[in-house]
Every structure is written in C-alpha cells, then in structure tokens.
Structure 1
Amino acid sequence: MRTTFFFYTFWREAYLRTYRPVAFKMMMYYFDKLALCKGQVCVP
C-alpha cells in the first residue's frame, strides 16, 4: 500500500510539473488572442 502511494505521488508530481505549465501557457496564449480580438470572432 505504501509503495503504491509512493508511486502515485511521484507520478502526480511529474504530471503536474510537465503538463501544468503547458496548459498554463496555452491558456495565457488563448487569453492574449481574445484580448487582441476586441470583440471580433477569434480562433486560437
């Protein structure tokens, strides 16, 4: 049980470190595109 918990924690930490910045950058890019549009229809 403890080993499974260790591997889960390790995987979760690696997952957050690799994928959270990518999602954050994509979200920031999307909001930048929306800010540039100013009411027009935009496709990110």
Structure 2
Amino acid sequence: MVDDTSLTSLPKCCLSVVIPCFNEVERIQQCIDRVLEQPVVGEV
C-alpha cells in the first residue's frame, strides 16, 4: 500500500513527444494544442 507522502518523493518523469508533420499544415496546430493540454508537458 502506498500513502500520499511517498508519492511526493517520486522523481519527476520525462516525456518526449515526436510529432511527424510533413504535409500536415491543416492538423499540426490541433496536435500541438492537444499535447499542451496534457498535465505532464512543461515546454514545447
């Protein structure tokens, strides 16, 4: 069983997102917006 205090001591994770965007001008902004909506994203 895990308590709340042990969760705060976990290291932050690192997430990389690769977005293929060749000929995707119509969809790239929506894709970037959806990535930014995720709680783990710190920068793009």
TM-score, structure 1 normalization: 0.31
Higher helix content, 1 or 2: 1
Q: Which has the higher contact order (CA 8 A, sep 6+)?
A: 2
TM-score, structure 2 normalization: 0.31
